[in-house]
């Protein structure tokens, strides 16, 4: 088996083992044992336990950010495109929790311990909405003079709906209504 | 001692016991033992373990919401008063984490399990900012037509800075800058 061992296979197995034992108790030896290889074989692909855990976290975050890259909602206004991007992000996350709450919770713990990986993920997400805001500024729909700041502001102001540490509240029956209320404030602000 | 046992004394002791054993493992008997009384004595004040836990959670949340009632920032604009209210809320929470992270974490767990108590607490906080927004509408500073919705929107859009489940991120060196960015979006929105 060791000869055909790919990074993907190791990550698949690591995910299962992490889920069974929890991020605190999983060792490289546990993953090697589940694959029936020596831990040296794992270390040829991942230099440390931390590197393996980070790779698992990274792959998961990538599965969230990748589908959002699609150039959807062409033809709509910039405000509509921006809202659709957030609805898709929120939908991806809420679906992950609903489908497998335990796995989501394991990943939330894992990801919170991988500071740099999370930072890159958030940067990647914000980078995806910057062009939508720039387009809105160019077509005179948005008033922002700094698209990066605006993108960051909108991302942070919607944290309640996509930050994994708040997942236990997403099942609330009023969550969609709350998103509408927040989105209204984000779009038009409160001052005259 | 039992004769002089007040609710406050029981709550003080319950807090210490909850902290030592954790919310999952603490029983009414543990609290009674720490006070050197029978568990019947505790039940005379609190009808159940759940009622005792909720009372502890409620007292803690009250210690957060009570100081915010002060009529501060008189004379400022409504926008300034609103921002000051949020700065005070955030300051109270961040100080609690810094002073005693373990106690804060215990309370976060406890509070998350007391759904109704949290609901009342959030309603109480939102109620405090409604008059500031109403005043802003009356003096033509704010454009909202529904002060309750606006108050809810602003409260939810700032969750990143005051939701206890996100406390691990409050020590970030960029947290104040992030608040400024979000506040700017909340005040003036993004559309022209």
Among A159, A181, A187, select the one facing B159 at the smallest CB separation.
A159
User: Is residue A17 scored above 70 in pLDDT?
Assistant: yes
Domain boundaries, chain B: 2-47, 59-188
Tell me what pLDDT residue B175 has. Answer: 96
SS3 readout for B48-86? CHHHHHHHHHHHHHHHHHHHHHCCCCCCCCHHHHHHHHH
Cβ separation of B189 and A189 shorter than 8 Å? yes
- With contact defined as beta carbons under 8 Å apart, do A35 and A13 qualify? yes
Query: Residue A140 and residue B185: Cβ atoms within 8 Å?
Result: no
Q: Per-residue confidence of chain B (192 residues) as pLDDT tens digits?
A: 556 789 999 999 999 999 999 888 999 999 999 999 999 999 999 999 999 999 999 999 999 999 998 866 677 899 999 999 999 999 999 999 999 999 999 999 999 888 889 999 999 999 999 999 999 999 999 997 899 999 999 999 999 999 999 999 999 999 999 999 999 999 999 887
- Identify which has the larger pLDDT, A6 or B75: A6
Residue A134 has pLDDT above 90, yes or no: yes
DSSP structural state of residue B46: -
ipTM field: 0.91
Residue A72 banded pLDDT, cuts 50, 70, 90: low
CATH level 2 (architecture), domain A2-47: Orthogonal Bundle (1.10)
**Most B CBs within 10 Å, among A81, A138, A173, A181, to test the B interface:** A181
Whether A153 has a pLDDT exceeding 60, the answer reads yes
B153 exposed, middle or buried (CB, 10 Å; 0-12, 13-18, 19+)?
A: buried
The DSSP string of B114-177 is -HHHHHHHHHHHHHHHHHHHHHHHHTTSB--S-HHHHHHHHHHHTHHHH-GGGGGGTT-TTHHH
- Res A3: pLDDT: 60
Picking from B80, B172, B191 by the largest number of A CB atoms within 10 A of its own CB, the best residue to mutate is B191
Cβ neighbours, 10 Å, residue B121: 19
Contact assignment for A190 to B133 by CB distance below 8 Å: yes
pLDDT at A157: 98
Instruction: Indicate the CATH number for domain B59-188.
Output: 1.10.357.10
pLDDT for position A24: 87
Q: Do domains B2-47 and B59-188 have the same CATH topology?
A: no
Residues of A with Cβ-Cβ distance to B122 under 8 angstroms: none
CB B69 within 8 A of CB B128: yes
């Amino acid at each position: 088996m060791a000869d055909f061992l790919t990074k993907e296979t190791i990550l698949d197995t690591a995910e299962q083992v992490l889920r069974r034992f929890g991020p605190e108790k999983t060792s490289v030896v546990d993953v090697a044992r589940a694959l029936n290889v020596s831990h040296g074989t794992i270390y040829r692909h991942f230099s440390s336990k931390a590197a393996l855990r980070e790779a698992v976290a990274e792959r998961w975050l990538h599965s969230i950010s990748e589908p959002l890259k699609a150039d959807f909602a062409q033809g709509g206004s910039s405000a509509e495109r921006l809202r659709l991007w957030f609805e898709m992000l929120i939908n991806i996350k809420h679906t992950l929790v609903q489908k497998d709450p335990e796995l989501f919770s394991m990943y939330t713990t894992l990801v919170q311990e991988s500071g740099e990986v999370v930072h890159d993920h958030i940067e990647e997400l914000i980078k995806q909405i910057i062009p939508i805001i720039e387009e809105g500024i160019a077509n005179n729909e948005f008033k922002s003079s700094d698209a990066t700041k605006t993108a960051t502001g909108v991302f942070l102001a919607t944290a309640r709906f996509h930050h994994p540490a708040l997942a236990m509240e997403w099942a609330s029956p009023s969550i969609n209504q709350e998103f509408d209320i927040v989105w209204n404030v984000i779009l038009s602000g409160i001052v005259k």
